[in-house]
A and B are shown apart, each in its own frame.
Chain A
């Protein structure tokens, strides 16, 4: 497993190699394409959208989809297509920042716990146990009630909620590697603990970490949308998909398009990251692929 990972992630065009492998994996490739579309949408939102996403046009409210308004308009006459396009920025931002927070915090804690063991491991592992004792959404809602809704807080909340999986992955792989010859050699050669952890041990845990990051990205988008849908996430008038669905709640009978478009956007984005994660797992971690 370690050797396999090293070979894939080793020096010399690792990204290129990964992309080549991705092409042969239909699921991963499909996910990758969806992901690219969303990133493109987020980058060029101003060019792609047909209206100002926050422009209120009272006489145009609750219009069904048409050539002028591809996905119709909401109760304030705002163009839903443009809001969905701009919403991708929020989702990509939340997805990236929260999975980055989960990755960095979780990995660091996993390294410390697995490498030093003893009471450091005890403290970190119990902390993770406590986090896992909470249903994820419950924990997110409780912290959201403390910090108050804003974009950055939301990313911190989601990052913390999904951190335990990273800690567990890294801790397990450190425990299995810390007595291996190459680690012992590095330590005997006088490398500092920090160097051993980050440049000897960590590269061997990269594969499952990449997969976990992709899955966390998907979960982060879903969790942000759930919180925003409850009115505990991104405050209006920011065009976030979850908040749009929150707005649409009272209009499901008269204006179903208000519900359909943002929901579809969330679904496709999450589907993209999940399939991408699945594909990456097949490629990077053949041990987990059973067939």
Chain B
């Protein structure tokens, strides 16, 4: 027991140590991606039609005339204090913009994941237990439909049916569900359902294939041979192991949710990080692009780290040597 615990902690430490280099490299990559985007902050601030001398003066004021490695160093120093710079198109600091929009995106992600799990896991379980029946075929086809549907198109269709035709749900906007639960949830249903349905398809697929495999294991046969009722075999023995791979998929899919939020928030006019990124790209607001990209990547990396650790606790078979 002692030995296993130490190895568990040493795994967590080691995993933490691999996170930091990756984090450092990704942040560097983002800095240089924004760096080589056409145009620079001085041009945006000076506005269209500004003369070259003004732009040059602005460039000096902003320190954009310094060599790239100096600016990179300054950027790292700034970043280490949590300062993400100032937005070029609004008077608000980037960190404030992000702090305002991150909870919105996380709420959307939370609701979407909720739909995905509520629909995906039971569908996958039913499909696996009724393998090769009509229900299984139906679920498999539904899941294939799900992973093949473009999210932005599904959003348009849902808006068309539920908002425009039936007028049941609002087509745009965000209301914080903590302050106004009913309105908040109403506004959340369409966008989160769009993201959630697609995710549910992936989760149903992985649940099915994992559970089908588990049901063929010897220990299930043994449990049945001992005369345990089928319900106990399934709930107490099969699902415990069968659902473990779902955890990893949830981690991966979180990236899909963050990426998907860029499109879904734009369609539903939700002021989250995805919409912030999109508008800042259109407005060439470089500090905001940089800040949002860094935040998304940091959130994604740490979430996957968390999932890896949870996974290790759930599945003692996995040895991290």
Contact = CB atoms under 8 A, between A and B. Distances in A.
Interface of A: 126, 129-130, 133-138, 141-143, 145-146, 148, 218, 222, 225-226, 229-232, 245, 248-249, 252-253, 256, 259-260, 263, 266-267, 270-271, 274-275, 278, 290-291
Interface in B271-303: 277-278, 281-282, 289, 293, 296-297, 300-301
Given A274-B147, A274-B148, A291-B132, A252 B156 contact: yes
B159 A126 contact: no
Given A138-B293, A226-B151, A271-B144, 18 more contacts: A126-B22, A130-B29, A133-B297, A135-B255, A135-B300, A136-B255, A136-B256, A138-B258, A138-B277, A142-B293, A145-B289, A146-B36, A225-B152, A266-B153, A271-B145, A274-B144, A278-B144, A290-B209
Given A141-B277, A145-B289, A146-B33, A225 B150 contact: yes
Secondary structure at chain A's binding surface: helix, strand, loop or mixed? Answer: helix
Given A130-B25, A145-B37, A135 B263 contact: no
A245 B278 contact: no
Contacts of A142: 30, 33-34, 289, 293
Interface residues of B, number: 51
A147 B262 CA distance: 19
B148 A218 contact: yes
B131 A145 contact: no
A277 B264 CA distance: 27
Interface string B219-259: 00000000000000000000000000000000000011011
Given A134-B26, A252-B159, A230 B150 contact: no
Interface of B: 21-23, 25-26, 29-30, 33-34, 36-38, 131-132, 144-145, 147-153, 156-157, 159-160, 164, 209, 212-213, 216, 255-256, 258-260, 262-263, 266-267, 277-278, 281-282, 289, 293, 296-297, 300-301
Contact of B37 (A138, A146, A263): A146
B26 to A, nearest CB: 5
A267 B151 CA distance: 10
B213 A290 contact: yes
A136 B259 contact: yes
A125 to B, nearest CB: 11
A291 B37 contact: no
Contacts, number: 123
B265 to A, nearest CB: 11
Nearest to B209: A290
Contact of B164 (A143, A253, A278): A253
B262 A267 contact: no
B144 A275 contact: yes
Contacts of A274: 144, 147-148
A151 B282 CA distance: 19
24 contacts: A133-B22, A133-B26, A135-B297, A137-B263, A141-B262, A141-B278, A145-B37, A146-B37, A146-B38, A148-B38, A225-B150, A226-B152, A229-B263, A230-B266, A245-B152, A259-B157, A263-B153, A263-B157, A267-B145, A274-B144, A274-B147, A290-B212, A291-B132, A291-B212
B253 to A, nearest CB: 10
A252 B152 contact: no
Nearest to A218: B148
A142 B278 CA distance: 10
Contacts of A249: 156, 267
A268 to B, nearest CB: 8
A58 B132 CA distance: 54
A135 B160 contact: no
Nearest to B284: A145
A183 B23 CA distance: 38
Contacts of A245: 150, 152-153, 156
A126 B36 CA distance: 22
B33 A143 contact: yes
A132 B5 CA distance: 30
A7 to B, nearest CB: 24
Contacts of B262: 137-138, 141, 230
A137 B260 contact: yes
Nearest to B33: A142
B145 A290 contact: no
A267 B26 contact: no
Given A252-B156, A263-B157, A290-B212, A141 B281 contact: yes
